[in-house]
Structure 1
């Protein structure tokens, strides 16, 4: 199992060593919320991209309208 030492992890370790457990815990919660928001943003973009393409395609496509009258 690998432990990635990125900016957030290094800051978390530094906060734990200098300020204690509680500030490091709050910091890690902030990192988790930020990661969740980022994941939702990317996931939403991936889901809405094809829908946007389909909406533009349907907007410019010529369709024959059906009549509601009983003629």
Structure 2
């Protein structure tokens, strides 16, 4: 997460230094897209973790030890 903070900080400094409206607009859109990508990835990572946990539990509860190891 420190990379995200550093990126956000540098982009916010760029907005403060250069007040040209096109640059500000571009930076704001870039930050918004970057934030959306992080949120989307985080949601999917949680979904994958939940699905993996479900399958691990399902495999160990419904199969023999050997089948669970192969699962």
More helix by share: 2
Query: Considering only CA atoms, is the larger Rg found in Structure 1 or Structure 2?
Result: 1
Q: In structure 1, how many angstroms separate the alpha carbons of the residues matched to 2:17 and 2:43?
A: 32
Partner of 1:12: 15
* Partner of residue 39, structure 1: 39
Over the aligned positions, Cα root-mean-square deviation in angstroms equals 1.8
Structure 2 gap ranges (5+) = 1-7, 64-71
User: What is the aligned partner in structure 1 of residue 25 from structure 2?
Assistant: 25
Normalized against structure 2, the TM-score is what? 0.61
Distance in 2 (alpha carbons) for counterparts of 1:51 and 1:13: 44
Cα distance per residue 1:42-69 (max 9 Å; x no partner): 1111222111111122234434xxxxxx
Give structure 1 stretches of 5+ with no counterpart.
Answer: 1-5, 64-71
- Dislocated runs of 4+, deviation >6 Å: none
